[in-house]
A and B are shown apart, each in its own frame.
Chain A
């Protein structure tokens, strides 16, 4: 069902865990849906890059693999770049997911957006139109609907 890359990220997820003094935290999904992801970022404020990123996920193999992949894609990148990672980017990097599992990758991009939004607002930094729009959409629409 899953390809080798997906199974690798599921079996040995990268960047798993928490960051105690995180600069931003994104919490998405809910227990009723069976998919929950919490994502933590530590930001290098000099050059606005994500210097550390960790996650915790409750979910299926696709949810765990996409969580792992989004942290790999965002690590070391600028906030601007990371906020534009799409579910398609994740699916491409994983070289495909079963059709009924594509939606799992939304959880990962949304957790990242929420963590970035949390960081920006906490530090009273400018929130771009794109991030603001995404944030509003995420809090309005529960993942499992």
Chain B
């Protein structure tokens, strides 16, 4: 059976060029970058070369990049690292109400350590309001953390404006750019960014590697103590093969893919919205080039995803029934989608190699499955399918 993977926001396959670049660093050039001998030196040179490539891609200096195990660690390091290093100034942090769980739960944990968190609301398309951010910043505010491209609904925030506001008010600004990196502009100088989280496995690199950009001069408290790697900010022997793969993934990313995905995304959205009682979540223009997020009335998302999988289409849902906590996605609730509609949510995320043929196949399968589920639903009925 034909299979179409449309869950690239969850993770991407490792690109063949990336894998090829990584392979020599497992068994041949296997050295520890801290060793003084030639194998170690080679690892060190490779590590610094990769650091340069990644730094340059976001307009940063190599020494401003701290390699980590991925997005979750980088977000934890940014938030807890700033919190602990700046608690003399204050214990107040501002985040949006649509952050990734790792930002949200880092902040929830900080509350148990005496920090206070303000959760900025978002409008129906998922944007925060600058005015509300300005009003929320206080004397004791030490950090603002707002996600760049939202992982569920794809909304891209105006981080340049947010950064400017934070700069004017003397508050650090962190953004989680895991979904947006290589998919829309990201430049730490032009967009006034103090800390940025990016990772590898969303951009055709390997899992288990990411980094945190920390602007020169900003102090953070490390989470991992040990041999003083990464300038003392993150101890642990560097994952050279992973970092090499990460850098290669950055190198091969290009604008052509973005334009191609954007076109296909809009085509997919146009086709799916022809299904009655269907809603697009997020903004129609300022959204990630590969993200489409829908709510289908009268049906439930887990059933939808499982039936689609049986038809060969792989997507995801933020439905309450699909989560371990049985709670509806906080992102969908934050944009004000009523619960009776929000249960039938579906996220489809495209990849650089997704074809129009695959989209057509997917649209047909969605039509079929949505109709089937609506006929099974007490609320569906013939007239609504």
Whether the Cβ atoms of A57 and B324 lie closer than 8 Å is no
Question: Nearest CB to that of A37 among chain B residues?
Answer: B378
Judged by a CB distance under 8 angstroms, whether A141 is at the interface is no
Render B318-336 as a binary contact track against A, CB cut-off 8 A, 1 for contact. 0111101010100000000
Whether the Cβ atoms of B376 and A16 lie closer than 8 Å is yes
Q: Given contacts A31-B340, A32-B339, A36-B378, is CB(A58)–CB(B326) below 8 Å? A: no
Question: Nearest CB to that of B381 among chain A residues?
Answer: A56
Contacts of A16 in B (CB 8 A): 376
B302's contact among A11, A36, A61, by CB below 8 Å, is which? A61
Contacts of B378 in A (CB 8 A): 27, 36-38, 56-58
Render A2-29 as a binary contact track against B, CB cut-off 8 A, 1 for contact. 0000000011010010000000000100
Judged by a CB distance under 8 angstroms, whether B8 is at the interface is no
Judged by a CB distance under 8 angstroms, whether B85 is at the interface is no
Contacts of A61 in B (CB 8 A): 302-303, 306
Whether the Cβ atoms of A64 and B340 lie closer than 8 Å is no
Q: How far is the CB of A43 from chain B (nearest CB, A)?
A: 21
Contacts of B326 in A (CB 8 A): 100
Judged by a CB distance under 8 angstroms, whether A59 is at the interface is yes
Q: With A and B bound together, what is the CA distance between A38 and B320 in angstroms?
A: 21
Whether the Cβ atoms of B306 and A57 lie closer than 8 Å is no
Question: Nearest CB to that of B379 among chain A residues?
Answer: A58
Q: With A and B bound together, what is the CA distance between A61 and B301 in angstroms?
A: 10
Whether the Cβ atoms of B376 and A64 lie closer than 8 Å is yes
Q: By CB atoms of chain B within 10 A, which of A35, A59, A100 has the most?
A: A59
Whether the Cβ atoms of A34 and B376 lie closer than 8 Å is no
Whether the Cβ atoms of B300 and A34 lie closer than 8 Å is yes
Contacts of A35 in B (CB 8 A): 300, 321
Render A32-53 as a binary contact track against B, CB cut-off 8 A, 1 for contact. 1111111000000000000000
Judged by a CB distance under 8 angstroms, whether B174 is at the interface is no
28 contacts between A and B (CB under 8 A): A10-B306, A11-B307, A13-B376, A16-B376, A27-B378, A31-B339, A32-B340, A33-B339, A34-B300, A34-B320, A34-B339, A34-B343, A35-B300, A35-B321, A36-B377, A36-B379, A57-B378, A58-B299, A58-B373, A58-B377, A58-B380, A60-B300, A60-B303, A60-B321, A60-B322, A61-B306, A64-B303, A64-B376
With contacts A10-B303, A58-B376, A59-B300 known, what are 20 further pairs, Cβ within 8 A? A10-B306, A11-B307, A11-B310, A31-B340, A32-B340, A33-B339, A34-B328, A35-B321, A56-B377, A57-B376, A57-B377, A58-B298, A58-B343, A58-B378, A60-B302, A60-B319, A61-B302, A61-B303, A63-B321, A64-B303
B interface residues (Cβ-Cβ under 8 A, vs A): 298-300, 302-303, 306-307, 310, 319-322, 324, 326, 328, 339-340, 343, 373, 376-380
